[in-house]
Structure 1
Amino acid sequence: MVLVKGKSTLLSIVTGHFEPDCGKILIHNKDMSVNSKEARSLLGYCPQHNLLFDNLTVYEHLVLFSSLKENFNSNEIDEMLEFINLTDKKHVLAKNLSGGMKRKLSVAIAFIGDSKVIVLDEPCMDPQSRHLTWNLLKKFKKDKKCTIFMTTHFMDEAEYLGDRIAIMSK
């Protein structure tokens, strides 16, 4: 059991930014507080707000975040570009992408580098790209062998995307 004030604190504990008050976080049997580097290499994270570098291209973002996991694979990057329908935007700077494309890139970054556990903090914030992101996550869920831990304020989204649902309330 972890005593938390809210979802942001819970996500910070799951991703290893905060220590739990009690218990432990295991990522594929790697204790986050003991083997944090190894556990984090198996973890993909998409924050609530896009954290993209304006002067990096779509491709450069995927290379950068893949290399942070010491798991660079140019084939995986090309497959990811195709998977998220951004192959034609490969050399476009992040600052020139639409909001929906930026969100797709942020979600893809979480999955790059053979992530085994994906933490998504409200990945479908933009109502216009919400259903596109839903379809993308359904596709990831079907094709990738990983666990997806996602927060949302929308019950319909949780029901559509989730296999198991937990509700946090005051």
Structure 2
Amino acid sequence: MMGNEIVLQIQDLTKRYPNGRGIENINLNIYKGDIFGFLGPNGAGKTTAMKIITGLIHPDCGDVKIFGVSVTEEYEKAISVVGSIIEIAESYPYLTAYENLRQIGRFSPKVDDHRINEVLEITGMKKFKDEKPKKFSLGMKQRLGLAAAILNYPKLVILDEPLNGLDVEGMIDIRNLIKHMSENEETAFFISSHLIHDIELMCNRIGVIYNGKMLNVETTENILQNYATLENYFVSEVERNGRI
């Protein structure tokens, strides 16, 4: 299922804030079809890393390449194959779900009515296409955000806490959707979460970030051969690397 082609390459990425938080010297490769789980407690540096990858903030040093193109040097080109939701799925509250997607897709020649209806169908939002997001629950907003993130047939989808606010059914739907896109379209996913159980069920590779540092990157399969659960592995990694 996984290709050898590197989709996302993170090299020596560092960003420090005055309060001492941030990330330090992160190195990571994500491959075609990977569903990579970026696991760590709140404040560990997950969102910082994701904002740098999507060009929302600049690193102090290091670089991010998407299919070999630098995000810091050729932003537009690098990001053209990326879909993302960072922090909270944004939408225009007074446009319908359908109009929101049409607005987002208007710059892309690949996005037509058929594709808009397709992503609404895929994310379970078809029946709400003529409703406005100002009335949506958090879970529905997340689904619409995901529809927007995959609209442009991205090769890499970056999701920050994608299961926030979803009910159990919603979580299962989104997990299945991610697995389906990974297997059938070789889309790579980079998913941050502090929900250990969901990462375990969803991701084929996992990186633990703690206090801004990457502790380890391992396949889920290897982890579960050696530990009863991902949670046990996470706790042992954090302890082995010394709680500060």
What is the TM-score normalised by the length of structure 1? Answer: 0.89
- Equivalent AA in structure 2 for residue 82 of structure 1: E
Q: Which residue pairs with 1:161 in the alignment?
A: 202
Of the three residues 178, 185, 191, the one matched with 1:137 is 178
Q: Matches of 1:71 and 1:34 in 2, distance apart? A: 25
State the shift of 1:118 in Å.
0.8
**Rg larger for:** 2
State the shift of 1:142 in Å.
3.0
- Equivalent AA in structure 2 for residue 67 of structure 1: R
Percent identity over the alignment is 26
Aligned in 2, Cα 1:73/1:29: closer, same or farther, shift over 3 Å?
farther
Classify the secondary structure of the residue corresponding to 1:150. Answer: strand
Q: Deviations over 1:89-136 (max 9, x none)?
A: 111111222332211111111111121111100000125233333233
Residue 120 (structure 2) pairs with residue 109 (structure 1): no
Aligned in 2, Cα 1:127/1:60: closer, same or farther, shift over 3 Å?
closer
- Equivalent AA in structure 2 for residue 92 of structure 1: E
What are the within-5 Å matches in structure 2 for residues 142-153 of structure 1? 142-153=183-194
Classify the secondary structure of the residue corresponding to 2:63. Answer: coil
Residue 109 (structure 2) pairs with residue 98 (structure 1): no
Of the three residues 148, 160, 167, the one matched with 1:121 is 160
Task: Give the number of equivalent residue pairs.
Answer: 170
Q: Which structure is higher in strand share?
A: 2
Ranked by relative contact order (alpha carbons within 8 Å, sequence separation 6 or more), the top structure is 2
Classify the secondary structure of the residue corresponding to 1:23. Answer: strand
Q: Matches of 1:157 and 1:22 in 2, distance apart? A: 32
What is the TM-score normalised by the length of structure 2? Answer: 0.64
**More off after superposition, 135-144 vs 77-86:** 135-144
Q: Which residue pairs with 1:22 in the alignment?
A: 61
CA RMSD of aligned residues (A): 1.8
Q: Matches of 2:74 and 2:109 in 1, distance apart? A: 16
Please tell me whether the aligned partners of residues 65 and 71 of structure 2 are also in contact (alpha carbons under 8 angstroms). yes
Q: Which structure is higher in helix share?
A: 1
